[in-house]
Amino acid sequence: MTNLLKIKKLSKNIYWLLSFLLVIIPIYYVGYWLFINDLPKTLITVNTLPTPLVPNELSIKLQILGFVASLFPLSALSYGLISVRKLFWYYKEGVIFTLEQVNIFKHIAKALILWMVLSVLYESAKSVLFTIGNPPGHVLLTVGVSSAELTTLIVGVVMFVIAWVMDEGRALAEEQQLTV
């Protein structure tokens, strides 16, 4: 089996996995905010600080606000997944190193950076929502950047550089093909 055949076969599997994720991740977000009051508190606060001082259930209004806030990082994530899925569609068709793929790499890089920024804002919004039932003066707004966000930012920047390198290689290959 040639490398291109292996790439096509693996890319087809990745394409379908990404298609599945594009369906399941939004369902997860809807379920999270719809059933947030029924979920174990340890599941909700595992990555969220601060923890409420006073245990309380979120009102429907706060659940809707939380869901709306989650739509921002979710849209960046979905945009990134759609872009990666499109890239693997090309690969499963055996198409590599085209201008369209260079542009897809740039889209993926933008999506990663946007997702990182919006995730920080979303986590900040969640900190307010989860502590809104605390006594006056104890509602907290946290803003933080963890190693996960920094890693995402670095990968996004690296993707931009890879896109530039791919575009340069593609342009050189085109120029070489046109040279007689």
CA-CA distance, 176 to 5, in Å (whole number)? 26
Residue 44 has pLDDT above 70, yes or no: no
Would you state the pLDDT for residue 8?
A: 95
Residue 87 has pLDDT above 70, yes or no: yes
Residue 53 has pLDDT above 70, yes or no: no
CA-CA distance, 145 to 116, in Å (whole number)? 9
Q: In this structure, what token pair is assigned to residue 60?
A: 């429907």
Specify the amino acid at residue 27.
I
Residue 59 has pLDDT above 90, yes or no: no
Q: How far is CA 134 from CA 39, 61, 123, in A?
A: 19, 17, 18
Q: How far is CA 80 from CA 126, 129, 139, 166, 174, in A?
A: 23, 27, 33, 19, 28
Q: At what angle do helices 60-92 and 99-131 cross, to 10 degrees?
A: 160
Q: Dihedrals φ, ψ of 54, to 5°?
A: -115, 120
CA-CA distance, 124 to 48, in Å (whole number)? 9
Percent of the chain with pLDDT strictly greater than 90: 61
- Give the residue among 115, 135, 124 at the shortest CA–CA distance from 52: 135
Would you state the pLDDT for residue 103?
A: 96
Average pLDDT, rounded, for the chain: 88
CA 150 centroid distance within chain? 14
CA-CA distance, 140 to 67, in Å (whole number)? 19
Q: Where does the pLDDT of residue 34 fall: very low under 50, low under 70, confident under 90, or very high at 90 and above?
A: very high
**Residue written as token pair 């298609």:** 19
Task: Kindly report which listed range (88-102, 144-158, 164-178) carries the lowest average pLDDT score.
Answer: 164-178
Q: Where does the pLDDT of residue 110 fall: very low under 50, low under 70, confident under 90, or very high at 90 and above?
A: very high
Provide the 3-class DSSP secondary structure of residue 46.
coil
